[in-house]
Amino acid sequence: MQKKSRRAVALTAAVLVGLLGACAPTGSSSAPGGNSTATQSATPPPFVVTTNVPDGAADIAVDTLVKVSAADGGGALTQVTLTGAGTDKNGKAVTTSIDGALGSDGAWTATERLDPATTYTISATGTARSGRESSTTSTFTTTALTLSRQIFVSIVNQTGSTYGVAMPVIVQFDLPVTDRKAFEQRLSVTTTPAQKGSWGWVSDREVEWRPETYFQSGTKVSVKADLNGVNAGDGKYGQNSASADFSIGQSRVTKVDLASKQLTQFVNGQQVMSIPVSGGKPGDETRSGTSVIMEKLPQTRMASETVGIANNSPDGYDLQVKYAMRITTSGEFLHAAPWNAAYLGNTNASHGCVGMATDKAQALFGTVQVGDPVVVSGTKRPLDDGNGWTAWNDSWAQWQAKSALA
């Protein structure tokens, strides 16, 4: 998903404080001498709607969930609306509304938290015991937050996409999250068919979810990050919510053995190809471990200067590389390497990537998908945690321990 631009959105809210009166029964009494007095009418206690946010309040915290209740036990709420008005970061006026639901106690509770520097209006309608309907409104304003106190959330997984069986759910934040527990409690993943899984924090700006074992092929995944207004600690708050729905494709597992210099691909458990390869030379060994294909590039420039080696040095290079499949953020790929043709299948001679003949790379490129696992073995250099999507490099117990709720 594309990262949302920072903004200060205004939400609208309306709180009702309704007064309803019912006519009391009349009665008469006889004065001495048989004279009747005038009938008297009595009014029962008024029907009042209350809210947890006082009318006219200012600097209300954005993590507040507005709640509206009927104070008179004999009355009932019939409708509540919560709307807000404010300006975005460019000074443009914006409005919004927040949904809510009536609980078993008859109270209405908002389903979302609030935005900063926003004036909200609560409008409520209720019916008293007498059957008369009454409505009222109230307003309040939320506290202002600088951009440095607003955390925006994005989900890497794209709605409508199909990924490999090792694709983690990836939620990212543009600022560090201090209260990881509060944020993780507002994250949810639903899989169909159901599969056991856990969140794990990769850093204070990224949390991932993976099942205990690879996803089942054909799984439907729905992720929700309900983080708008959630307190992130250190004076920061979530500034938006996000969601995504995607699918899992066929099982495609690629194994790279750099001791034998062979790449083998399995589709749905059946071997479909074996390719001679060349991995990283001594000093630039390819990392051993379970990686995930992060992106596919039909052609890309690879220059040694990007990893601190001058292009004009004896060890330098500046190449247009075909059929590149990224497996680490540090720059390891599976790709075509026709310049290393003499080494394929017998010598590890690259700067860390796994190279192969162009036609073989093209065939592999045509079958793999983002999210496929790539299991590299045969080197003494381990895959470092967080260098790519490395959730599968942990045992299940290790991964669960990375949850803030563990």
Instruction: Please report whether residue 261 resides in a domain.
Output: yes
Is 355 found in the same domain as 308?
yes
Last residue of a domain, one of 248, 275, 305: 248
Last residue of a domain, one of 75, 110, 144: 144
Is 138 found in the same domain as 67?
yes
Is 258 found in the same domain as 204?
no
Is 152 found in the same domain as 122?
no
Residues 263-281, mean pLDDT to the nearest whole number: 97
> Quick one: pLDDT at residue 301?
83
Q: What is the pLDDT of residues 283-296, one digit of tens each?
A: 999 999 999 999 99
Instruction: Please report whether residue 20 resides in a domain.
Output: no
Q: Which range marks the domain in which residue 123 is found?
A: 49-144
> Which member of 335, 351, 360, 402 is catalytic?
335
CATH code of 126's domain: 2.60.40.3780
Is 336 found in the same domain as 238?
no
> Quick one: pLDDT at residue 20?
32
Residues 242-270, mean pLDDT to the nearest whole number: 98
> Quick one: pLDDT at residue 307?
67
Q: Is the pLDDT of residue 38 over 50?
A: no
Instruction: Please report whether residue 399 resides in a domain.
Output: no
Last residue of a domain, one of 121, 144, 167: 144
Q: Is the pLDDT of residue 27 over 70?
A: no
> Which member of 10, 80, 353, 376 is catalytic?
353
Is 279 found in the same domain as 184?
no
Q: Is the pLDDT of residue 18 over 60?
A: no
Is 176 found in the same domain as 123?
no
Is 296 found in the same domain as 256?
yes
Instruction: Please report whether residue 271 resides in a domain.
Output: yes
The number of folded domains in the chain is 3
Instruction: Please report whether residue 5 resides in a domain.
Output: no
> Quick one: pLDDT at residue 364?
98
Q: What is the pLDDT of residues 49-97, one digit of tens each?
A: 889 999 999 999 999 999 999 876 567 899 999 999 998 777 889 999 9
Instruction: Please report whether residue 22 resides in a domain.
Output: no
d(CA 233, CA 292): 32
Instruction: Please report whether residue 113 resides in a domain.
Output: yes
> Quick one: pLDDT at residue 219?
98
Q: Is the pLDDT of residue 240 over 60?
A: yes
Average pLDDT, the chain: 88
> Quick one: pLDDT at residue 294?
98
> Quick one: pLDDT at residue 136?
85
Is 228 found in the same domain as 287?
no
Q: Is 353 a catalytic residue?
A: yes
Q: Is 23 a catalytic residue?
A: no
> Quick one: pLDDT at residue 35?
43
Is 154 found in the same domain as 106?
no
Q: Is the pLDDT of residue 19 over 50?
A: no
Instruction: Please report whether residue 36 resides in a domain.
Output: no
> Quick one: pLDDT at residue 397?
98
CATH code of 291's domain: 2.40.440.10
Query: Of 49-53, 242-246, 313-317, which one has max mean pLDDT?
Result: 242-246
Is 265 found in the same domain as 343?
yes
- Report the share of the chain in percent with pLDDT over 70: 85
Residues 10-34, mean pLDDT to the nearest whole number: 34
Q: What is the pLDDT of residues 317-376, one digit of tens each?
A: 778 899 999 999 999 999 999 999 999 999 999 999 999 999 999 999 999 999 999 999
Is 121 found in the same domain as 154?
no
Which of the four pLDDT bands, split at 50, 70 and 90, describes residue 45? low
Q: Side by side, which strands form the sheet with 100-102?
A: 49-51, 67-70, 108-110, 100-102
